[in-house]
Structure 1
């Protein structure tokens, strides 16, 4: 696979506009791999009008590594495939059994690179390779609960120069925003777009009033946006 492999990199240098949106779309925005599963799958659909070559790989957050040099405890099938216009393909992801923490989630990233075929009929038309990247959470079966139940346990507290966010749970939580509910049910956003790791305590530079009700908007296990009230200290 080394030779084919990553002749794919050649295509990445052909960045010519044919569309502003990726034609190959994923049917979910995140994957939760429970440790008792033999495999998980993700559907890719080509919504475009031409076939695409697709390369898929998983990384551990090291952005500068060639996919061939990335060591993760997962295998994807197929790693490279062609999806015709209007058709779909399922990616199958297998956990290979290497030891991962059993008292908290682990996080990886699934990358899907889609490249249209080279168009020789119009030399002035650029083709654009698109890469989609989503989170893959490995969740041990020993963990009870979900992202939604974890958010209920988040603690906010006031610091002299900001706010402290404490995640005492074994789950990663992707927070879209934390807002204070002021008079007239007007929400004032305090922070946006952070991910807090298991058992992590974050300090953020933001005003905080513990006497107000606060709402947290986050991404749940199904990739949907959910909102909950949280208690401040």
Structure 2
């Protein structure tokens, strides 16, 4: 397994932009309910050549070797061949480790795709591998609130970091990971594209805006999030500007 992993990492670094994956997946975000012992993801080889696949789950370190990835999940089968136009279901099995029960836990599901060696004689070629990483969310039973509505509970404020310099601060009071496809802030006659990405459960993040001279008390954000079943509708909200010493919620 280590040999396959190292080949994939090296070649994907050498050829990051010219590769095209033949293997496609029926989902790119996996939610593992604590009520289930296992979930599955379906792969299909859309290409014309066979591919050797390797699968594993890690805790977030993309450089860790599959044999050392100590996430509490087993992937079955961990290595398999996928012929052209063939489909394969891969099972993700929870190994029973005790995890936090008051929030989601995030892991990463990896697939390494190594194409078959061409059969043409006398032809030079470069064999490369493609690696795909998908978020795997472990969701305990009984978490409060609705995951699809959690994004609307994030508290956004414009705060002063130091004299004349401000930041947009987001606080996630929910037990769910909040993922944004995009977020735009309008304040003081300017528009800001904020690269939010994801805010972890019960966490907060700040995004520096720079110097702001506007005296408006409120700004406005527009955003689209990613839910359990895909992209959420566009939403908007008023954002308050608070002073560094403010105790406003």
State the TM-score, normalizing by the size of structure 2: 0.82
- Per mean C-alpha deviation after superposition, the further-off stretch among 63-72 and 140-149 is 140-149
Query: Per the alignment, do residues 180 and 64 of structure 1 end up closer, same or farther by CA in structure 2, a change over 3 Å counting?
Result: closer
**Hey, what does 1:198 align to over in structure 2?**
201
- Per mean C-alpha deviation after superposition, the further-off stretch among 112-121 and 48-57 is 112-121
1:46-90 per-residue CA deviation (whole Å, 9 max, x = no partner) reads 010111010000000123321101111111111111111011101
Please state how far the C-alpha of 1:196 moved relative to its aligned partner.
0.6
**Hey, what does 1:88 align to over in structure 2?**
87
Q: Is 1:55–1:79's contact at 8 Å kept on the other side of the alignment? A: yes
Return the structure number with greater relative CO, CA threshold 8 A, min gap 6: 1
**Hey, what does 2:246 align to over in structure 1?**
none
Query: Per the alignment, do residues 145 and 41 of structure 1 end up closer, same or farther by CA in structure 2, a change over 3 Å counting?
Result: farther
**Hey, what does 2:137 align to over in structure 1?**
137
Matches of 1:85 and 1:40, distance apart in 2: 24
- Per mean C-alpha deviation after superposition, the further-off stretch among 123-132 and 38-47 is 123-132
Matches of 2:96 and 2:61, distance apart in 1: 21
**Hey, what does 1:168 align to over in structure 2?**
173
**Hey, what does 1:178 align to over in structure 2?**
183
Matches of 1:9 and 1:135, distance apart in 2: 19
SS at match of 2:224: strand
SS at match of 1:206: strand
SS at match of 2:153: coil
Q: Is 1:166–1:202's contact at 8 Å kept on the other side of the alignment? A: yes
Task: Report how many aligned residue pairs link the two structures.
Answer: 226
Q: Is 1:25–1:46's contact at 8 Å kept on the other side of the alignment? A: yes
Matches of 2:29 and 2:192, distance apart in 1: 25
Matches of 2:147 and 2:35, distance apart in 1: 18
Please state how far the C-alpha of 1:193 moved relative to its aligned partner.
4.4
State the TM-score, normalizing by the size of structure 1: 0.87
- Per mean C-alpha deviation after superposition, the further-off stretch among 63-72 and 5-14 is 5-14
Q: Which has the larger radius of gyration?
A: 2
For structure 1, the residue ranges without an aligned partner over 5 or more in a row are none
For structure 2, the residue ranges without an aligned partner over 5 or more in a row are 161-165, 241-249
**Hey, what does 1:48 align to over in structure 2?**
47
SS at match of 2:128: coil
1:23-55 per-residue CA deviation (whole Å, 9 max, x = no partner) reads 111111100101001211100110101110100
Query: Per the alignment, do residues 202 and 114 of structure 1 end up closer, same or farther by CA in structure 2, a change over 3 Å counting?
Result: same
Aligned-residue CA RMSD (Å) = 2.5
**Hey, what does 2:149 align to over in structure 1?**
149
